[in-house]
A and B are shown apart, each in its own frame.
Chain A
Amino acid sequence: MRLKLDKRETPEIQKAFLAANILIVVAFSLIFSRLWYLQILNGEYFKGLSENNRIRIQEIAAPRGTLFDRNGVPLVNSFPSFDVSIYRQDVPDMKALIPVLTRVLSLDPLRLRARLEGARGIPPHQPLKIKTDIPRRELAAVETRRMDLPGVVVNVVIRRNYPYKNLASHLIGYLGEVSEHELGMEEFVNHKLGYLVGKYGIEQKFELELMGESGGRQIEVNALGQKIRVLGQVEPSPGNSVHLTLDLELQKAAEKAMAGKQGAVVVMNPQNGDILAMASKPDFDPNLFARGISPDNWKSILDNPARPLQNRAIQGQYPPGSIFKILVAMAGLEEKLITPETTFQCTGSYPFGNREYQCWKKEGHGQVNLRKALVESCDIYFYQLGMRLGVNRIAKYASAAGLGTPTGFPLGLEKTGLVPTSSWKMKRFGVPWQGGENLSIAIGQGYYLATPLQIACTLSALFNGGKYYQPRIVQGVRAPDGEVRREYPPLVLRNILISPETIEFVREALWEAVHSPAGTGGRAKVEGFNIAGKTGTSQVIQRKEGKPEPIPAELQDHAWFACFAPAFSPEIVVVVLVEHGGGGGSAAAPLAKKILETYHRRGKKDHPSPARVAVQRSVRRPDEG
C-alpha cells in the first residue's frame, strides 16, 4: 500500500472547501435565525405556553366493539358518562379547592385528601381521576361553578351497558380495571392505569378484538386549564364486533324458565354445535362491574355460597343419572348382550351381594323389555344390563360418546367430568372395583360425572348421525365497516360409530318417553312437536332403602332433562339441570318444555337465515346499536 505524501491542491478541491464553508455558514445561520425567531421574537408566547404546559393531550377512548346475537340483535350498548379529574398544576390553592370540591361532588374530604396524598408520585400535569360516573345533578353543579374549580375537568367517557342485565352473564362476562400484570403485556402497551378491560367471558376472550384503538386531541388550554382551541385531533378506531351463536329469544326463554332456580340450561343446534342459549343460575349483573364494582357488591358476589360467578353449564359436574341409560342401552345392543326383545322382571327391588338395589318405582314395572325400560326408566332392567356389561365396557361407550373429556368450549374454564374404569379406581383409591358398583353406574350414579354441556354435545352427536361437534359460541368477528375479520366455522371433533339400528331403536324409545302416557318425560310435551327425551334424577346422598324421610333442600336430588326435537331430524337439543330440584320428570322437563315451546311457536317462517341478517346489522356502527 502506498500512502502518498504529496497533496495536489487542484482548483476542484479548492472549490470543494469553499462549498463546505458556505454550507456550514448557511446551516448555522439557519439554526441561529430559527432560534432568534423562537426565543427572541416569539419567546414570550412560548413562555406563556410552557407555563403550566398549556398544550395537552386529551384522550378520546375508542368505542368498544359490540356483541351481537345470531340474528344481529346487539347484546350490549354504550352510553356516555362523566368523570371528574384534577390537573393539580393548575390548582393555585389546593386547600381552598378541597372544600368546594367535596361539597359539589359529595365526596368524603378524608378520602379525597388520601387520594391526593397517594398521587404524589404522579407528575402534576397528568390528570388525576377523582370521581367516575357522576350524576347529572353534580355535572350541572361542576359546570356552573367552573370559576371556583380551577384545574378541575369533566371528561365524557363511553361506558358499556348491558341492557339485558343478567342475561347470559356467564358468556358475555364483565369488565374490570386493567391490572399491573396486564399492563406489562405487549398487547396492552397503549393502556394506562384505570382502563377497563374484559375480565371474564367473551369480554375477556375477545378483548383484543373488542378494544379498538383510542385517539386523542391536542389542545391549548388557558391558565385555568380550560380548553381554548384544538390543535389537532386523531379519531379513535372502534373495536370489532363479535357475533355470537346465541339466539336472544331462546336465551330469554331459558333464563325465564330457570328464574329462581339453581342450575343450568344448554340449548344447542345438534347439526353444527351452535350454542343457541346457555344459562346458569344464580348469575350476576355485568353492569355492576362496568361502572367499577363497589367493594360491597364484589364481596357479596364472592361470598355468595351459591357461587354466582360459576358457569354451571360448563363447570358444574353432576352424576348424569338416568340420562346415562341412553348410553348403557346402546352399549348393551352394540355388544349384543341384549336384543330389543330381551326382558327382565322388575319387582321394585333387586338383591345384589348383601344389599337390595331399588327401582325408583317401588311397586315394580313387572315384565320389562328395553323399550319399556327406557320409556319408564326402569332401574332394575339397567342393573342387570350393567352387571353384564361391566364397568370397562360401559366406559368404552361413554368415552367414545365424549364423556370424560372437555367438549372444547371456546371460552375455556370447563370441567372434564369423569368416566370411571376399574384401573382408574385402583389408581385413585387403591381398592378394586366392586360388582355392586356396576349396578350404580348403569343408572348414571356412582362415580360418573358430567357437565350439562357435555350431555348436550353427546346427545347431539348420538342423534345427528354420529358427528361430535365442538360447541360453538362465536360465529365470527367483524370490523366496524362489516368486513369479516375472523370466522369460526363448525368443527367436527370426532365421529361416534354406533350402528344406525341401535340409534333408531333408542330414538323411538326416547320419543315414547315423552309422548306415551307412561313415559317419564311427559311434562315436556309440546303440542305438534316431536320431542324425544330422557329424564334423570341424580342422587346427592345415598338414601336408606324404603325409609321415606324429609330431606333438607341442599340434599335434594338434582333434576335432569335432556331432549332433542324434532325426534327424527333434530334441530334443537335442550338440556336442563336443576340443582336439588327433585325428580327430573317433574322439576326439569317442564322447564325444557317452555324453551321448546318458544322455539316451536316461532317456527321456521320468522326465523331468517342468521348469516344474512348478521351482514345487514353489522354494517351499522356499533355505537348506534
Chain B
Amino acid sequence: MLDRRLIFNFDWPTLVTAFLISAIGVVNIYSSTHPHSGAATPLYLKQVYWTVLSFGLAFLVLAFDYRTFVRLSYPFYLFCLLLLILVIFFGRSSSGSQRWLQLGVFSFQPSELTKIALILAMTRFFTEREMPRGHGMRDLAVPFLMVGLPSLLIFRQPDLGTVVLLMAIFLSVLVFVEVRFKTWAVLGAGVAVILPTLWHFLKDYQKNRLLTFINPDLDPLRTGYHITQSKIAVGSGTIFGKGFLHGTQSQLHFLPEQHTDFIFSVLAEEWGFLGCFILLFLLLFLISRGLKIAKTSKDRAGATLAIGITAMLFWQTFINVGMVVGILPVVGIPLPLVSYGGTAMVTNLMGIGMLMNISMRRFMLSP
C-alpha cells in the first residue's frame, strides 16, 4: 500500500505545523490550570496523552487511501447520529449541558466526531452527483438533512457553538460544489426567515450572550464581565507578554473556561502580540495549506474533502479568536489543536491526517 512515491510525497510542513500548534496548546493549558493540585492527572498531561493518541490516529489515517473513508462515510455518519441519540439518554451533564458519553474512565463528545462525519458524507454525496448546470434546491434536500439532523440533536444538548460550526462548514462546502445562483438566493431568503425563528428556541443564557455581544451593558455581571476580562487579559499582554505563568488574569482564574474556549486569552496575556502572531501565523499556514491541497487534488472527492476540513479549521479558529478578542459573540467553540479537549483533538488531527492523505496521493492516479 505505502509505496516509495507516497513517502517521497509525505507532507512534512503540515505535520510539523500541526505538531507545533499542539505543543503551544499544551504549554498554555499547563499555565492556565496552574497550580496543579491533587492526585488526579493534571489536565495538561491528559492533553499530552490525547495529542499522542491523536497523532497516532492521524498516521493510521495516512495508511489508507482517503477514498476508502469517503466510501465508508455513510455508515460512519449514521454511527455518529446514533451516538448523538445515545447522548440524550445516557449522556453525562456538565455545567448545564449534556454533551458527553462516558466510556469506562474517559468521556468523549460525539458532537465533535460529527464534524468529520458530516464532511465525509457531504464529500461522498457531491462526488457521486455532479450537476453540469449546478445544484438546484431539490438536489440539496439530502445534504440539508445531513446537516439538519445532527444540528437538531446537538442544539438540544445544548451546544450552540457546534451547531454554528456545522452550518458554516456546510455552507463553505456548498460554495465549491456549484450551486445555482437562484438556489443561493432562495437559501439566503430561507436563512433570513429561519434565524429569527431559531431565536425562540435558544436558552436564556444563549440569548443573553448574543445580546450582550451587541450591548455589553446588558449583562455586566456574567457574560459582559467575561468579555471585559478577556479583553483586559489580551490587551494587558502588550507586545512581549507578561511571561509564562505570569499572566495575572489567568493565574488568578478570572476567566471562565480559560483552558478550553478562552485559552487564546492566556496565550495573549503571557506571550503578548508576538505569541499571538506566531500561533495565528501557524494556524493561517495550516489553513492555506489545506486550501492549496484542495486546489491541487486531482479528484473531486479529495478536493471536496479538503475544502470541508479546511473550512472546519478556519471557522473554528476565526470564531474562537474573534470571541476572545471581542469582535464576535461568545459561542462555545474551541480553538483547534490548542484548547483542552480529547475528542476535539482526535477530530482535528484526523482531519489533518486526511489533508496529508490527499496531499500525498495527489500524483497517484490509480483508481
Q: Which residues of A contact B (CB under 8 A)?
A: 1-7, 10, 12-13, 16-17, 19-21, 23-24, 27-28, 30-32, 34-36, 38-40, 42-47, 49-51, 53, 55, 57, 123-125, 215-218, 231-234
Contact = CB atoms under 8 A, between A and B. Distances in A.
A57 B249 CA distance: 15
9 nearest CB pairs, A to B: A232-B220, A46-B235, A43-B238, A50-B236, A38-B235, A218-B220, A46-B236, A47-B236, A39-B273
A123 B249 CA distance: 12
Contact of A53 (B248, B268, B367): B248
A7 B299 contact: yes
Nearest to A35: B276
B299 A6 contact: yes
16 contacts: A3-B127, A7-B297, A7-B298, A19-B175, A30-B322, A31-B321, A34-B327, A35-B277, A39-B273, A43-B236, A43-B238, A50-B233, A50-B249, A53-B249, A218-B228, A232-B217
Given A7-B297, A30-B327, A231-B220, A55 B229 contact: yes
B130 interface: yes
A407 B221 CA distance: 47
B325 A31 contact: yes
Interface residues of B, number: 65
Nearest to A89: B252
Contacts of B175: 16, 19-20
B239 interface: yes
Interface stretch (B17-25, B84-92, B283-291): B283-291
Contacts of A51: 248
A234 B284 CA distance: 40
B314 A27 contact: yes
Contact of A55 (B128, B134, B232): B232
Nearest to A125: B252
Given A30-B322, A218-B228, A233-B220, A43 B239 contact: yes
A31 B299 contact: no
Given A7-B299, A123-B253, A215-B221, A45 B325 contact: no
A39 B301 contact: no
Nearest to B310: A20
Nearest to A217: B220
A28 B219 contact: no
B365 A5 contact: yes
Given A47-B238, A218-B220, A218-B224, A39 B276 contact: yes
B71 interface: yes
Given A13-B176, A123-B253, A218-B224, A38 B128 contact: no
A370 B268 CA distance: 95
Contacts of B216: 232
Contacts of B252: 53, 123-125
A44 B238 contact: yes
Nearest to B321: A31
A123 to B, nearest CB: 6
B234 A35 contact: yes
A45 B238 CA distance: 10
Nearest to A42: B235
Given A31-B322, A32-B280, A35-B268, A4 B220 contact: no
A43 B241 CA distance: 10
A608 B63 CA distance: 89
A56 to B, nearest CB: 9
